[in-house]
Amino acid sequence: MTIVVTGGAGFIGGNFVYYILKNHPDDKVICYDKLTYAGNLETLADAQDNPNFKFVRGDISNRAEVYKLFEEEKPEVIVNFAAESHVDRSIEDPELFLRTNIIGTSILLDACKKFGIKRFHQVSTDEVYGDLPLDRPDLFFTETTNLHTSSPYSASKASADLLVQAYQRTYQIPATISRCSNNYGPYHFPEKLIPLMIINALNGKKLPVYGTGENVRDWLYVEDHCAAIDLIIRKGRVGEVYNIGGHNERTNLQVVKTILKILGKGEDLIEFVTDRKGHDQRYAIDPTKISTELGWNPTTKFDDGIQKTVAWYLENRGWWEKIISGEYKEYYSKMYDNR
Ligand code: NAD
Ligand code: TYD
């Protein structure tokens, strides 16, 4: 099978490339990535020598480039990870999110319509469901929960989901969608909560917790997410949405304190800063459908996954030190100085 992984030089896409090469050695994997600030060829360094792997630089919102990709590579499956993915950046500047996440997805779908495809899989997020109140721990997102977005990021992802469903119904594109909770693990870009806190703690910098740190996220180890997508593209039913999550809910403060404890650092590094605008309170996935229908269940508990993740950042300083010495510095001072 020839699989095009868009956004494969990013966090989850990169992990997915390795997952497929390891678990399906007969598959051919083509990573198609624009290499934005979040894309990093060093993430794919260990795949470059694999004869079943190829990297193609390109933009999902460039129609000519996407059509050329389809003509030359003749993909059977597309897994679309490519996106602008950071909520804080979307609050600062929404437009690029609309171009990449909505227009880009529509161009990929047009290519599927024009050239044909066996499966188009859209990697979506639980953020399309909005948030749940903190005082209702009995509530969870199911696949039929209404779409109700809070940030330009989540609105763009929900728009893309609706387009995928429209193309599936109107043009019979064999599409599936997965909506996953927050991921963590190796190669996670340091603008996101977990890697940012690990790296700041290692560098003796303050750990900026938004608001009171009571917001809840449902954390999934990235390899479990990759396993779920792999099952969906092979066994999932066309036209279906699958929620992915593992009942690993933690408040942000719990996450930050756990990281400090693993690193043997004091909680005096925590600094409460101005809250995110429109900050979602709680995300929590009900994964019953994918568990009963496809037999997927997460294998890594948060307490083990976070240990493995911290160990990875300790062992791979070169990967992240290069990132934080570049344009990331400007980003950090724009977002965090005077917050
Ligand atoms: P990321 O920001 O780490 O990586 C995104 C990748 O997409 C980068 O390699 C970037 O270069 C590439 N890209 C961006 N714009 C592109 C374009 N126009 N054309 C081609 N490539 C482009 O993101 P991530 O955290 O790995 O998330 C991947 C996907 O999973 C996204 O669609 C995101 O919405 C979704 N998702 C993420 C999480 C999470 O916790 N990180 C949870 C659920 C769903
Ligand atoms: P993030 O990793 O940006 O993921 P998302 O917003 O998609 O859930 O943030 C996770 C949580 O951590 C979210 O509630 C915002 C919070 N947060 C902080 O408190 N401080 C930070 O510096 C960052 C980046 C996030």
38-53 confidence digits (pLDDT tens) = 999 999 999 999 999 9
196 Cβ inside 6 Å of ligand 2? yes
Contacts of 132 (CB under 8 A, 6+ apart): 139, 140, 141, 281, 282, 283, 284
Measured from the alpha carbon of residue 197, the closest ligand is: 2
Q: Is the pLDDT of residue 247 over 90?
A: yes
17-34 confidence digits (pLDDT tens) = 999 999 999 999 999 999
Q: 192: CA distance to ligand 2 center in Å?
A: 6
DSSP alpha helices (H): ranges in 172-301? 193-202, 222-235, 252-263, 288-294
Q: For all residues of the chain together, what is the average pLDDT?
A: 97
Would you call 285 helix, strand, or coil by DSSP?
strand
pLDDT computed for residue 326 by the predictor: 84
Helices and strands per DSSP (H, E), number in the chain: 13, 13
Burial of 338 (C-beta count, 10 Å sphere; 0-12/13-18/19+)? exposed
pLDDT computed for residue 294 by the predictor: 98
Please state the rounded mean pLDDT for residues 148-165: 98
Look up residue 50 and give its two tokens.
């694999």
Please name every residue paired with 28 in a beta bridge, in sequence order, or none if there are none.
2
210 Cβ inside 6 Å of ligand 2? yes
- DSSP letter at 16 equals H
161-209 confidence digits (pLDDT tens) = 999 999 999 999 999 999 999 999 999 999 999 999 999 999 999 999 9
Q: Is the pLDDT of residue 265 over 90?
A: yes
Q: Strand order of the sheet with strand 53-57?
A: 53-57, 28-33, 2-6, 77-80, 119-125, 175-180, 241-244
65-106 confidence digits (pLDDT tens) = 999 999 999 999 999 999 999 999 999 999 999 999 999 999
pLDDT computed for residue 46 by the predictor: 97
286-324 confidence digits (pLDDT tens) = 999 999 999 999 999 999 999 999 999 999 999 999 999
Q: Where are the beta strands (DSSP E) in the chain?
A: 2-6, 28-33, 53-57, 77-80, 119-125, 175-180, 183-184, 207-210, 216-218, 220-221, 241-244, 249-251, 270-273
Distance CA 145, CA 96 (A): 27
Q: Which residue's alpha carbon is at the smallest distance from atom 37 of ligand 1?
A: 125
Q: Which atom of ligand 1 is nearest to the CA of 82?
A: 7
Distance CA 246, CA 31 (A): 27
Would you call 5 helix, strand, or coil by DSSP?
strand
Residue 154 phi/psi, 5-degree rounding, is -70, -30
Q: Is the pLDDT of residue 338 over 90?
A: no
Measured from the alpha carbon of residue 99, the closest ligand is: 1
Residues with CB under 6 Å of ligand 1 are 6-7, 9-13, 33-36, 38-39, 59-61, 81-85, 100, 104, 123, 125, 157, 180, 182-183, 189
Q: Which of these, 178, 182, 184, lies nearest to 197 by C-alpha position?
A: 184
| Residue 339's pLDDT band (cuts 50, 70, 90) | confident
Amino acid at 151: S
Burial of 170 (C-beta count, 10 Å sphere; 0-12/13-18/19+)? exposed
Q: Which atom of ligand 2 is nearest to the CA of 153?
A: 7
112-140 confidence digits (pLDDT tens) = 999 999 999 999 999 999 999 999 999 99
